[in-house]
């Protein structure tokens, strides 16, 4: 584990195992690189600003406590805060490296994020969040814990969360997503209409912004049918990435690609970069989590790239 100066002089941590590496900025606890066998799995925009007031574009932005637009800034403030390094751990036996970040309510969050009121008066949200990133030789584990630390009994901590991962792909025409067939999704490109996914292979050929709901793994019935995990397949680079997650705490999956017109409107994203990225975001979006004082929430998501030879 090394601490280095990254783009624009922001501090970043570099984690390494024998066959993998990962880079994480303190700003947003934002993962900007994850490589196995020297292959990069995350997309980063060449136009990302790396300013300490704005989220980094690409990698794994951590979306918390709000997904999308709402009472506070879009996608919450976790991706715009500097996190504290809480712990670092090297596990020789598992050959893994772990880093733990901490974020508590602070002057900034107190100013912008108040509780939903039950007693008629507004109070600040009190929280203690841990973000744990564990780099294994061939996969990455992301764990997120939240505790409502308020001492006032009716202060309910309410939030959404998502790992907003940008995957690096050979070309959008070469990729598809498995594991979404039969799910309902909110189609943000069509007035938030609830639509059923009919495709076994979900391909992207225009602006796509969907929240798939309750993506709980099921066993397909019938001879020869097997459980289909959530997977990103890239026929160009001959790689696949399997995404596992604790679906009880994070049942929703977002698929997003801005395509050409939206790309042109984003000042920290190059016009033609939509060819080389797809966001598959695991989260709790549709039904926010509500924690009473002293209650905790824990969740976990893993990113498991295949070996090149397995496709
Ligand atoms: C996705 C949303 O998660 O993030 C999209 O579903 C949004 O609607 C996209 O455009 C990017 O958001 P931002 O705030 O990082 O530009």
For the record, the structure tokens of 302 come out as 């893993």
CATH number at residue 280: 2.70.98.10
| Total-model pTM | 0.94
How far apart (Å, rounded) are the C-alpha atoms in residues 204 and 278? Answer: 9
Domain encompassing residue 231: 2-310
For strand 127-135 and strand 96-104, is the pairing parallel, antiparallel, or unpaired?
antiparallel
Centre of ligand 1 to C-alpha 188, Å, is 11
Name residues contacting ligand 1 (CB within 6 A). 55, 68, 74-75, 164, 188, 209, 254, 256, 281
H/E element, 16 = strand 11-16
How far apart (Å, rounded) are the C-alpha atoms in residues 297 and 149? Answer: 12
Q: Return the ligand 1 atom nearest residue 67 CA.
A: 3
How far apart (Å, rounded) are the C-alpha atoms in residues 311 and 307? Answer: 8
The greatest distance separating any two alpha carbons of the chain, rounded to the nearest whole angstrom, comes to 61
Q: How many domains does the chain have?
A: 1
From first to last of its 311 residues, the chain has per-residue pLDDT tens of 888 888 888 899 999 999 999 999 999 999 999 999 999 999 999 999 888 778 999 999 999 999 999 999 999 999 999 999 999 999 999 999 999 999 999 988 988 897 655 555 667 899 999 999 999 999 999 999 999 999 887 889 999 999 999 999 999 999 999 999 999 999 999 999 999 999 999 999 999 999 999 998 766 666 666 678 899 999 999 999 999 999 999 999 999 999 999 999 999 999 999 999 999 999 999 999 999 999 999 999 999 999 654 45
Give me the interface pTM, i.e. the ipTM: 0.97
Decide: 187 and 195 in contact? Cβ < 8 Å: yes
Centre of ligand 1 to C-alpha 167, Å, is 14
How far apart (Å, rounded) are the C-alpha atoms in residues 79 and 118? Answer: 28
Centre of ligand 1 to C-alpha 68, Å, is 7
How far apart (Å, rounded) are the C-alpha atoms in residues 107 and 217? Answer: 41
Q: Is the peptide bond before 158 cis (omega within 30 degrees of 0)?
A: no
Centre of ligand 1 to C-alpha 37, Å, is 30
* Number of C-beta neighbours around residue 49 at 10 A: 15
């Amino acid at each position: 584990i090394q601490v280095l100066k990254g783009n624009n002089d922001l501090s970043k941590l570099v984690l390494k195992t024998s066959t993998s590496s990962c880079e994480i900025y303190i700003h947003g606890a934002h993962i900007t690189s994850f490589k196995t066998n020297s292959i990069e799995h995350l997309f980063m925009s060449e136009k990302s600003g790396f300013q300490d007031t704005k989220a980094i574009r690409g990698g794994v932005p951590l979306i918390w406590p709000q997904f999308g637009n709402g009472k506070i800034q879009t996608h919450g403030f976790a991706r715009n805060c500097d996190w504290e390094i809480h712990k670092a751990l090297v596990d020789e036996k598992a050959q893994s490296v772990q880093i733990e970040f901490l974020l508590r309510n602070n002057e900034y969050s107190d100013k912008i994020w108040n509780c939903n009121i039950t007693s008629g008066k507004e109070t600040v949200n009190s929280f203690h969040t841990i973000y744990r990133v564990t780099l294994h030789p061939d996969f990455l584990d992301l764990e997120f814990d939240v505790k409502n630390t308020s001492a006032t009994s009716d202060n309910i901590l309410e939030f959404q969360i998502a790992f907003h991962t940008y995957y690096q792909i050979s070309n959008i025409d070469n990729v598809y997503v498995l594991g979404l067939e039969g799910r309902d999704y909110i189609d943000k490109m069509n007035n938030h209409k609830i639509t059923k996914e009919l495709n076994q292979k979900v391909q992207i050929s225009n602006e796509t912004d969907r929240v798939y709901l309750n993506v709980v793994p099921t066993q397909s019935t019938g001879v020869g049918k097997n459980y289909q995990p959530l997977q990103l397949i890239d026929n160009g680079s001959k790689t696949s990435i399997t995404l596992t997650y604790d679906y009880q705490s994070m049942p929703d999956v977002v698929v997003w690609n801005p395509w050409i017109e939206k790309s042109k409107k984003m000042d920290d994203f190059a016009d033609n970069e939509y060819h080389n990225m797809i966001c598959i975001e695991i989260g709790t979006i549709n039904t926010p989590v509500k924690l009473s004082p002293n209650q905790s929430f824990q969740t976990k998501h893993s990113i498991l790239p295949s070996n090149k030879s397995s496709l």
